[in-house]
Amino acid sequence: MKRMHAVGMALALGVSAVAGIAYARSGWGALAYNTGNGRWGFAYDKEGQLAADNFAYAECGAGCGIVVRFGPGQCGAFARGSGTSWGKGWGANRSQAEANAVAECNSVAPGTCAPKVWGCNSR
């Protein structure tokens, strides 16, 4: 009986370790944007940079390009202003990412920019 308990514990620990590895690999984000029509696509907490890029492209549609990527433990944000002004940013938390996006947008259209979307990777 003790042997079965030890085997069960080893299996449980192994599953936990594998789940931990898979979780640690997630945490990639991207923002795709189309400057012609203003459409955007946003991805976060994806299982790799390519997965994040593909998700953002799919949300955005034809004519979009990746304008920002952010990795594990980072946040990304997008801001819009008057006319066609926009900005993107990233940082260690939501407020930092949004502030960076708004600052970039305000460099083109001062005082008109506001955050529109944000996301943070869990790892």
Domain count for the chain: 1
**How much of the chain, in percent, has pLDDT values that exceed 70?**
80
Per-residue model confidence (pLDDT) at position 20? 37
25 pLDDT tier (thresholds 50, 70, 90): low
Domain containing residue 50: 27-120
For 36-83, the pLDDT digits (tens) are: 999 999 999 999 999 999 999 999 999 999 999 999 999 999 999 999
Q: How far is CA 31 from CA 19, 65, 69, in A?
A: 27, 8, 7
| Sign of the torsion angle spanned by Cα atoms 95, 92, 90, 19 | negative
Rounded to two decimals, the pTM is 0.75
Does residue 35 sit within a domain?
A: yes
- On the question of pLDDT at 116 being above 50, the answer is yes
Average pLDDT over residues 85-93: 96
Write out the E strands in the chain. Answer: 28-33, 40-46, 65-70, 75-80, 86-91, 114-120
Does residue 39 sit within a domain?
A: yes
- On the question of pLDDT at 121 being above 50, the answer is yes
Does residue 51 sit within a domain?
A: yes
Per-residue model confidence (pLDDT) at position 8? 40
